[in-house]
Structure 1
């Protein structure tokens, strides 16, 4: 009947904490609270840092600028000047400077040359691709002739002065592509002036100016027709600033709507990035950065030395030793460094042996195994009145208590102290010197 009875687990109250641990219980609670506040402070600092990074990224990399188109140099060929006419071939080196972090792909366009109000030449600007943060150079050939100029007397006076003034314009329409995800249309405009010295046949005073970033009523393609119609209307006696036309109000309203849409789109992108970052941080906190409980297991116990009288009774004054195979499993992504391990052996509530194991280091997601030898004081067993009945049955029931304290450190920032306690109840077969039955119960304190 004694063999069939289940051996109870050794309760934790049987193994009270030391005086030092009892005295420091309140300080441990305060330390735990400070660690939580420290962890929350790290999370808040990380969120602020990510917000700053996203803002800098949005204001630099993700900000799409309008490429700059300019004429770098012009070569004059086949110059033929008459008192009232001229013709020539101009080869212009046009540069497309892309200031974005993505490629700028533009379509076919044309470059025009005007003398006064008349267009005197055109050139074809073939489609191409300006790489990120690079400048693309393209040669454009234009045939220039004064056949389109109607004011012959003015042309003769300019030819006789020895200098002809020209104006060159071009409009490039294309898309800026960032990381093969964001695509935005951008229109680059060119407006350059130059002077032709008829004596030397060279271009002088070449200058190009940057057009305004925001579209004006005369430059916006959707608003050119209303602006031209307003220009052709008869000017009223009162100043335009005092009596604004309905077309100007419509133009201003349209520009405000465009700016508002751009702001909403930019704020939406930033909010989406922040939401993604917050989700990533939350996932990391509950998966990678979550400190899991180390697991202590007693794989087996061997009776190394036992001295019996007539094969059944323990010899008084003799020693008995047990070797326990203990493993420490670390399920975290960071290492678990533990201090000295303590193992205490009990028989019927009385301490009959104690052993200390060396400190160790369990690597991330690894299991550390160690052997702990416990020397049993047989005199305490012999004096126990229940020993004789247990020895007569051939089974000896004992309890063990193992305590391991250590620290888990993640990314050298998050530190968490862990105390693992394990109670085991084992039944030792005296004749075979082997563990016949073993049950363990663990308790983790963070």
Structure 2
């Protein structure tokens, strides 16, 4: 490949540009009017404005993005994460334009994007799924009967949902009745599909995912796990590898199951199989993310591999660079998502970064889309940076993180750094004893 258009912004756009530069590949950035002064715009070989600040008028403008790609004769489009990264229609349009889409096949994105269809697919492949419905539920009577059968509490979910949107915990029948119609309407508004389904709610659970990679020659490998259990409103806040919870025996079973799941859809490029794990280490398929994950640096730190480079190589038609037996993991890595947000009310805190200074710490990696003097606008996700810490032991990685966040200097806006310090000082977290309820229990 000689030239790649990056259909994204901020931190992930810079991340892709970095690898492309190392590979001698030119980059084309797209940006909204609100992002014209962002570092990723200046770092690309060329950059083009695609519209007004709102995503619907800029970063979701499929035809405009593809027109730019064609006019610049790019070889491929990298969608990053979010925006159009899991949009099967966009992936198909890119292919039809004679441009390589850096990701899986459009049919795979579509298949895994519908949670009901993905459940059905995994059931056929003998991959364990959470007890629940594998068909869309049409009536409240049907929902109540199923919930009674599998037992409350249950999760009511939108089939097209993602990012925690369209998920409601129902403790009893009254709560289910109250939420049913509003969840269907919310699903239609956000995802264009009102289908909902029910799953058994797994209490005291962990959220653990496995990074997988496939090529066009039938090779599929795993790149170990990431524990993403520290969440707020179903949104990941902290991710680490290896998981401090999993036993080696269950870990191996989870890797084998993840590869089985990827093979079931003939997966190519980077993807993630997400599992929910109960307190007895029984694990169930949750969903598949058909893209590069926000937290991919965690895997890069423990393996020493460049996942964006692998994406480009596979999309170019090459085989996976390594076989499973040639891949190893060492040490511990942990990532914190640093947001521009009020640490008490957890609301976005946009504004100018009058000070943005990162401490120099051994084993620390900062992937940021901003520099000092930049502005976090209200139009997009308020992620300022991903701060990743690596060491030979988990304890030392946590020590490095604590020292880093005590000395980071950010002024002009509020951030969730105080939340990180509270997490790092918590004895249960230090011992690796936490579930997806950790933040609710430790406010």
**TM-score bin, normalised by smaller chain:** under 0.3
Scaled by the length of structure 1, the TM-score of the pair is 0.19
Greater RCO (CA < 8 Å, at least 6 residues apart)? 2
Scaled by the length of structure 2, the TM-score of the pair is 0.19
